[in-house]
């Protein structure tokens, strides 16, 4: 009888632990999604300001817009990094929760958030070069590169969001 009660008690504790891990998994997925959506939005702002810098007729105006693109790129980088961290947490919790599909989708999200982070760093680098350029042609050259990196960041962020949506619906715990 004591053995049955002990076994039952241990089973209850394990179920509660597993349930807690699954709740943590869903929380981490939601948190990662929030961060990556923010990264997308900041990349969009970087794109807009880089485009304004690219289309500017005066060096001073172009540099002003490049500086704004740089600031938003820095924010996109921070958000993508936070998304990656939360996606890694989600992957770990999915493993502990026994949700293989969630673990797989979380790993996909990690890959995409890493891509978004890398591209956001490129936006920042190109926007910084545009900001410090001495002539309008160089500002436009680097602003165009920043625009391309912003589009790449948005693509990676969008794919990460898709993976996180799949991750959320994959575990029925």
- For residue 121, pLDDT beyond 90: yes
Per DSSP, the residues of 112-167 read HHHHHHHHHHHHHHHHHHHHH-SSHHHHHHHHHHHHHHHHHHHHHHHHHHHHHHHH
Number of domains in the chain: 1
- The pLDDT score that the predictor gives to residue 171 is 78
pLDDT at 91: 95
Alpha carbons 129 and 82: distance in angstroms, whole number: 25
Give the side-chain half-sphere CA count within 13 A for 48: 9
DSSP 58: S
| pLDDT, tens digit (0-9, with 9 covering 90-100), for 124-163 | 999 999 999 999 999 999 999 999 999 999 999 999 999 9
Give the integer Cα–Cα distance in Å for 57 and 136. 8
Domain residues for the domain of 155 are 2-170
Are the C-beta atoms of 167 and 100 separated by less than 8 Å? no
Confidence of residue 10 (pLDDT cuts 50, 70, 90): very low
Per-residue pLDDT at 170: 87
| pLDDT of 19 strictly over 50 | no
Q: Is the dihedral of CA 126, 128, 131, 132 positive or negative?
A: negative
* Token pair in block for residue 112: 């995409």
pLDDT of residue 1: 55
Q: What is the pLDDT of residues 40-82, one digit of tens each?
A: 999 999 999 999 999 999 999 999 999 999 999 999 999 999 9
Cα separation, 170 vs 46, in Å, equals 33
């Amino acid at each position: 009888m004591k053995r049955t009660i002990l076994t039952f008690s241990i089973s209850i504790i394990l179920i509660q632990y597993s349930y807690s891990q699954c709740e943590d998994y869903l929380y981490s997925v939601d948190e990662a999604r929030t961060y990556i959506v923010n990264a997308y939005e900041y990349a969009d702002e970087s794109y807009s300001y880089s485009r304004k810098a690219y289309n500017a007729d005066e060096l001073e105006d172009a540099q002003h817009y490049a500086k704004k693109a740089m600031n938003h790129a820095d924010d996109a980088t921070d958000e993508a990094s936070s998304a990656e961290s939360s996606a890694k947490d989600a992957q770990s919790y999915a493993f502990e929760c026994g949700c293989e599909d969630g673990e797989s989708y979380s790993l996909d999200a990690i890959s995409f958030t890493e891509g978004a982070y890398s591209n956001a760093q490129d936006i920042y680098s190109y926007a910084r070069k545009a900001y410090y350029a001495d002539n309008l042609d160089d500002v436009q050259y680097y602003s165009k590169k920043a625009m391309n990196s912003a589009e790449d960041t948005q693509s990676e962020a969008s794919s990460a969001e898709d993976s996180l949506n799949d991750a959320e619906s994959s575990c029925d715990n």
